[in-house]
Amino acid sequence: MKENVIFCYSGTGNCLDMAKNIAKSLGDTDIIMMRKYPAVTDVREAKRVGFIFPCYGGGLPGHVERYLHDIKVSPDAYTFGIAQCAAYKGEGLYKLNQLIPLDYWAAVSHQCTCIWLFPHDLTMPKMGAVESQARSEHFAEKFARDIKAGVKSKKKLGKALVNKAEHAAWPQIARKQGLTLKANDKCVMCGTCAKVCPMDNIRYAGKAVVFGDKCISCCACVQYCPQEAINFGKITEKRERYHNVNITVDDLNQEIISF
């Protein structure tokens, strides 16, 4: 096992980009993806263990909370958690800290990928894609320096009660929104959407793309479709697409990325 392990969920690449930048600086690191059940959950041999994920509807994305229950970390390991969000970090870090106490935590604003709900530049402060990417890279360097130095966060993670209520309602909202997904006649059946869906919620039936009812609204199918052929109803038809500039569909589909 590598000296450092980073568990990462990423829908559209921002968090994986952050994880890769930190891993490059730390060296000797495995990034273990949490888009599906993690390939390794017992990391008691690792000296530093981190978690990087976005805020979805005020909390942890997809099945990440369920996966966190199975992850075994040495009580002697240095632990860190980083949440990427558009505007607010939500309750994700608090929940993680309850399960795996964190030495260090941080939240960083990046482009908002929830394309049906908000514009991409709903960031804190308001920023375009190039600026928020540069800022995220700057923070990755700072976090890696802090992690190497074993810095501990002084500020406590609060309960985030409003986000708790928001997140309780989120899975239903996301699922309902997912039922409005459709591919239009620009679709060339290239397979990208099915490949990038972390929920295996997209399949092909003859010449039709069929969306199931397990959507968590990560928006990866809409954002990565090379034809921009997938929309949530009519809401996203005229909206510009965004995914992290450095992260491909193949990157997102790795189980473990080693540095």
By CB under 6 A, name the binding residues for ligand FMN.
Answer: 10-15, 54-58, 84-88, 90, 110-114, 174, 217-219, 244
Q: Which is nearer to ligand FMN, 38 or 90 (CB)?
A: 90
Q: Which is nearer to ligand FMN, 29 or 111 (CB)?
A: 111
- Using DSSP's 3-state secondary structure scheme, residue 249 falls into helix
State the nearest-atom distance from the C-beta of 215 to ligand FMN, in Å: 9
For residues 215 and 219, what is the distance between their CA atoms, to the nearest angstrom?
Answer: 9
Task: Between 93 and 219, name the residue whose CB sits nearer to ligand FMN.
Answer: 219
Q: How many CB atoms lie within 10 A of CB 138?
A: 12
Closest CB 58 distance from ligand FMN, rounded Å: 5
Here the contacts of 146-149 (C-beta below 8 Å, separation 24 or greater) are 146/104, 147/22, 147/26, 147/48, 147/50, 147/78, 147/80, 147/104, 148/25, 148/26
Strand duo 230-232 + 181-183: pairing = antiparallel
Residue 116 or 259 having the CB closest to ligand FMN: 116
In 15-167 the beta strands, taken as DSSP E runs, fall at: 29-33, 48-54, 78-85, 104-109
Closer to ligand FMN at the Cβ: 124 or 190?
124
Measured from the CB of residue 27, what is the shortest distance to ligand FMN in angstroms? 23
Nearest distance from C-beta of residue 119 to ligand FMN, angstroms: 11
Taking the complex as a whole, the smallest distance from the CB of residue 44 to ligand FMN amounts, in Å, to: 27
